[in-house]
Amino acid sequence: MRKLRVEEMDRLSLEDFKSATKNELIIVLDDVRSMHNVGSILRTADAFLVKRVLLCGITPRPPHREIRKTAIGAEESVDWRHEASALEAASKLKAEGYQLLAVEQAEGSVSLQDFLPSVEEKYALIVGHEIDGVKQEIIDLCDACLEIPQFGTKHSLNVSVATGIAMYQLTFRGKHS
């Protein structure tokens, strides 16, 4: 086995990425405060050809060197937009026919590994503030809350890690299998 060099990985150019068909997945960041988390989520969104990332409320937005530090250029490839309110953004997406999925621990949540996305549906994945999570008023709009099973002593995952796990699951379960 030999580790691949970057030029052997056959990645898209920025121009090819911009014109590539994207997954019908939109990521909504509800007051995510850390620039490193924002950059990491943008980088992961690039990896999975996510349609758009909505940076809502106090969520920092590019250009900023602390976002670029973890995005490593994905802030230029991924279609991102700022929205004043995650609640307003979620309401618009619901009106456009998106199924709203919050990554949150909630009564009646669905374990992420049990959620089977449909190729006929469009999904908006909503993730929240590092301490407070997704606001209840947004959860009230959601079609489901997806919960990532955990077995250790901590009661939550870092928001960028949880978002990456959920993006992977929504990209490959039911769509590419």
pTM (two decimals): 0.95
Whole-angstrom distance between the N-terminal and C-terminal Cα of the chain?
Answer: 26
For residue 176, the tally of other CB atoms under 10 A from its CB is 8
Predicted confidence (pLDDT) per residue in 12-22, tens digit: 999 999 999 99
Taking residues 94-98, report their average pLDDT: 98
**In the structure, what pLDDT confidence band is assigned to residue 175 with cuts at 50, 70 and 90?**
low
**CA distances (Å), origin 8, targets 4, 58, 76, 84:** 6, 39, 22, 41
pLDDT at 176: 45
Helix, strand or coil, per DSSP, at residue 166: helix
Taking residues 146-150, report their average pLDDT: 97
**In the structure, what pLDDT confidence band is assigned to residue 37 with cuts at 50, 70 and 90?**
very high
pLDDT at 35: 98
- Whether 177 shows a pLDDT value over 80: the answer reads no
In the chain, what are the domains?
Answer: 11-172 (3.40.1280.10)
Taking residues 101-124, report their average pLDDT: 95
